[in-house]
Structure 1
Amino acid sequence: MSGTADRRQDQVRRLMEGPYPVVPAGLAAGAAARGDRLLRRRRALRRFCWAVLFAAAVAFTVWASVTRPWATPPAGVSPPLEGW
């Protein structure tokens, strides 16, 4: 078990000491542009979600004010007449 770990550590040490690979030109600019796009998409999605939530709250408020679900419905049968 420890022999495998030592071998892996030796491989990592050789990779770290050896020549570094060449980084392609424009890699940092491309990564920054991609990150910028991701941030804009997330911001747009967050704004869209807030707009939908606000529209749902307004729709619920309008529905509740029109239908008045908290009020008791009118009785279908009239009470008996007494005292005539």
Structure 2
Amino acid sequence: MSRPGREAAARRIMERTPPRVPPDLCADAVRRGERLLRRRALVLRVAWLLPAAATVAFTVWALTARPWAVPPARRTPPLTGW
């Protein structure tokens, strides 16, 4: 297509009447945006809550199980030097 043809086609497209916009388009967009924001806030809250709960659970387990302590001996050492 030559340049004058492209210009004529662009002029025809711009002279057309714009398509009609549905009257409830704005309300639907606002409703969808609010839903997306609520979902994002929930995901962020869960993303912070799960590691916090895991940290608390690990701390409680470590304080009760004391994995760093040496376990007690299962038998007594032999007596020498009597």
Q: TM-score range by the shorter chain?
A: 0.7 to 0.9
Aligned counterpart, 2:36: 38
**Structure 2: gaps spanning 5 or more residues:** none
- TM-superposed deviation, 1:66: 0.7
Instruction: Please report the TM-score for the alignment, with normalisation by the length of structure 1.
Output: 0.71
- TM-superposed deviation, 1:71: 1.8
- TM-superposed deviation, 1:75: 2.5
Aligned residues: 76
User: In percent, how many aligned pairs have the same letter?
Assistant: 50
**Structure 1: gaps spanning 5 or more residues:** none
Cα gap change, 1:21/1:79 in structure 2, threshold over 3 Å: closer, same or farther? same
- TM-superposed deviation, 1:45: 2.3
Aligned counterpart, 1:60: 58
- TM-superposed deviation, 1:52: 2.3
Q: List structure 1 runs of 4+ shifted beyond 4 angstroms.
A: none
